[in-house]
Structure 1
Amino acid sequence: MTGLRKRPNPLTGYAVLAASLLIGVILALSTGEAEIGLLGILSYLLDWVTGSGNNAEAGYTVIIQIRFPRAMTAMLVGASLATSGVLYQGLLLNPLAEPYTLGVATGAAFGASLAISFSLRPVAFFAFAGGMGTLAVVMALGMERTGILGQTRLVLAGVVVSSILGAGVTLLKVLAGNRMTAIVFWLLGSFSVSTWSDVAWAAVSAFCVLGIGLISHRDLDVISSGASPGSLGVDERRSRALLLAGSSLATSLAVSISGVIGFVGLVVPHFLRLVFGPSHARLVPMAFLGGGFLLLLADTAARSMGEMPVGVITALVGGPVFCLLLWKGR
């Protein structure tokens, strides 16, 4: 009778996710070697908003220049990855799809590894270029003769291209010499050097994919239902191209900022779909909030463990959680 169980009120879900995100931000701002209380944090934030902050004050610098941009970057990257995951799963008719399914992350990893190996700057630019170049190749290989992007062809193309680029990353690590550590650390993901510039780019990634998801939620519902999109007034060719390009662009930009961080775009959409149902009008904004909270919490935990790469935390926690979700969802 599990199929007849009553689903929670979506408004309750929004409220819980928003409150969790707010608590996560406060926790992130208060975590670190320099102990700063809640009142101190609020005072520094107020000074920053009003423009009366003192950059010479240590506490103000710690909160506004170090912890706050890091927390915002982690939150926005998580929101971007989770929202992209919703779009990928609906587009590919596969609840196990995620932002990295089509090899965009591997392309970004190859671009970053190439940049680090040959001392090219900025690394984020080459990571983004690698991700977008991979997307172009995968879309070309995944195009049917009818001009429509086929789910099976896209996934197969993503697997093949990702395997080739993965081998390239391995080769670069072998040849990198003393730069191999930097490559490995980047590949595991980190927000340790996040700046306000990173916040701006992460915001572009997150809000672009959120906007595309909200605008196209009906198209996603139709495509993911397995019905004929054309008979329901959906331009399948345009919708698939827009959703794929938008989610992949957001993923590539997010990965170029943070490195490769797994499971956020897989676990969050899957969990929310099990709890709140398949409607993308709800799933898209909920994934935005849930992904932001999850990655913010993971980064705070990584920071409290002596700057462990956040990708390690998401893999250690996300893997078992996803196994549990699969078990519960039988």
Structure 2
Amino acid sequence: MQAQSFGNDQNMKNGLSVCCDWIAFTLPYEYTVADVVDFLGFSAAEFVVMPVGSYGYRNCSKLADGSVRILSNGTEEMGIHVDIPSKDILIVLNRFHASRTGSTPFGTGFNVSDFNHTAFQEFLSQIIQLGGHFTRLDLAIDDQVGYFTLNDIFDLCVDAAFSSRFHSWSSESSHDNNGNVIGWTLYFGSRKSDTFLRVYDKKLEQNSKNDGSCPLIEHDWVRWELELKNGRANIAAALLLNGSLSQVTCGILSNYIRFIIKDDNNKTRCTTLPAWDEFISDVEKLSIYVAPVPLSLDDTKAWLKKQVSRSLAFIVASDGGVLDFVYDLLNLGVNKLSARQRILLQDLIPELS
């Protein structure tokens, strides 16, 4: 029997399937663990208190029959954090949906703020309404049709036959003790950045876990996973409230990478590889660019204390306590002030204007 979909996955007309593969969000400090458990649609008895917290939170409650974690008891700024890994998203959406299903004039139905919302979209929407923000949102595309094998993608990358916003890519394989390849992944971008892409051989992964209880997968299966964090995760969530999962996922992916025919010295003018057009289904590119927030005076002071204070103390101590080097730095820095910093100074000290 096919599992019920709550809008967190979608089949595309070109044969690909798309899904949300990870949801992590933070709610304001005023909410309690009990509030979050109720919001998710569970009971307190279904969660167990773990001996240690994580990410700087002192407490962690974990779903007894799953991997959902609620992290609490951090600082006020940290709020209360929720991690929902891939395998538990459907479980959470099922409970969320059931807890909001009731009688209506038209029979039993799901209570939503927008009639066009799926349970997945309503879940994202209510997190935002509660004042929450997303810290991670993973969107994945499964290709079991065979548009690209991992060998195809690797060869295109080696040949530099792609245009990308990512500055680097790498390849990583894993082996069992007999030397058999049991995993192969291509990475695009930095794992520490807010946009990261991994493309891996799902067939290899699934077959390596097979204990013989089911047939091995014979067809090619490549998974494309976009890992979006912080500001980019929040923009993606907002896009998902007004667009389909496939449009948003393919739109973001095509904005970050495009495979090409090398028919021009400028990659941006090169012809798109026909197979990529078919894969991406001619979806319009979607930008999730987040403009950097200008540093305030307090931010600058905090940065100096954290990054510079130790080195500066070392230099002054090595000079016997003489501050000549510090004064030299100040004189040098005055001449390097940016236009924004000069404007900020004029606002803080009007007599300078």
Q: Normalised by the size of structure 1, how large is the TM-score?
A: 0.24
**Looking at CA atoms only, which structure, 1 or 2, has the larger radius of gyration?**
2
Q: Name the structure, 1 or 2, with higher relative contact order (CA <8 Å, separation 6+).
A: 1
**Which structure has the highest strand share of the two?**
2
Q: Normalised by the size of structure 2, how large is the TM-score?
A: 0.23
